[in-house]
């Protein structure tokens, strides 16, 4: 099966299985590898449009709290709270903290800026979002919590890796097979905050 056919396979599979996007399979693969979606947890999904990751999370988390944030409006999913807002704004982060009222167990980010066509610039902008999520997670995750975030291989990769190692005891990188083959995207999985932060 060539690369294009393989990607079409995930698109068709999402339609058949009722997922809002083919990217749902990225989260399924990530969870199969790292096992962070558990019943009863508090989960934040940043950059959640169109809602495929929240659908996957909802299937795993029957009891718990799931909050999705995106600047685009997302159609409702039972058991999931959505906020239409810019995560980078201070007030949005305050809303998140007020909603959970205590530390979060899992933070997911598939967030990416609107593409410019300039691959180098798009890489930098996406990785800046990842760095912002890292800083936020340091302040809000449970000590044994998990962060999963998209990043691009390229500029700022080493900066992300260095910061993640400062904040977390365990970090891994993983590119799901459902990611487009030509894409430079990969995902960082971070767990167990360091005691000295």
Q: Which of 20, 26, 42, 150 is catalytic?
A: 150
Residue among 176, 175, 182 at smallest CA distance from 3: 182
Count other C-beta atoms under 10 Å from residue 191's C-beta. 18
Residue among 186, 185, 87, 187 at smallest CA distance from 140: 87
Task: Say which DSSP state 182 is in.
Answer: T
Q: Is 15 one of the annotated active-site residues of the chain?
A: no
Per-residue exposure over 85-121, b if at least 16 CB sit within 10 Å of its own CB, e if not? eebeeeebbeebeeeeeeebbbbbbbbbeeeeeeeee
Residue among 60, 79, 147 at smallest CA distance from 111: 147
DSSP E strands: which ranges in 125-195?
141-152, 168-174, 185-193
Which active-site residues does the annotation give?
A: 150
């Amino acid at each position: 099966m060539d690369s294009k056919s393989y990607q079409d396979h995930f698109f068709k599979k999402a339609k058949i299985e009722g997922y809002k996007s083919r990217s749902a399979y990225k989260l399924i693969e990530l969870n199969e590898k790292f096992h962070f979606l558990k019943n009863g947890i508090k989960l934040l999904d940043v950059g959640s449009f169109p809602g495929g990751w929240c659908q996957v999370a909802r299937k795993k988390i029957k009891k718990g709290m799931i909050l999705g944030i995106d600047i685009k409006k997302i159609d409702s999913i039972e058991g999931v709270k959505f906020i239409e807002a810019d995560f980078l704004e201070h007030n949005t982060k305050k809303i998140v903290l007020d909603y959970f009222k205590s530390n979060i167990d899992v933070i997911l980010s598939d967030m990416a800026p609107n593409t410019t066509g300039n691959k180098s610039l798009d890489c930098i902008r996406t990785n800046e979002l990842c760095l912002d999520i890292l800083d936020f997670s340091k302040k809000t995750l449970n000590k044994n919590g998990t962060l999963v975030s998209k990043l691009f291989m390229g500029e700022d990769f080493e900066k992300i890796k260095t910061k993640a190692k400062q904040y977390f005891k365990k970090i891994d990188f993983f590119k799901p097979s459902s990611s487009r083959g030509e894409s430079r995207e990969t995902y960082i999985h971070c767990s167990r905050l360091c005691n000295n932060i």
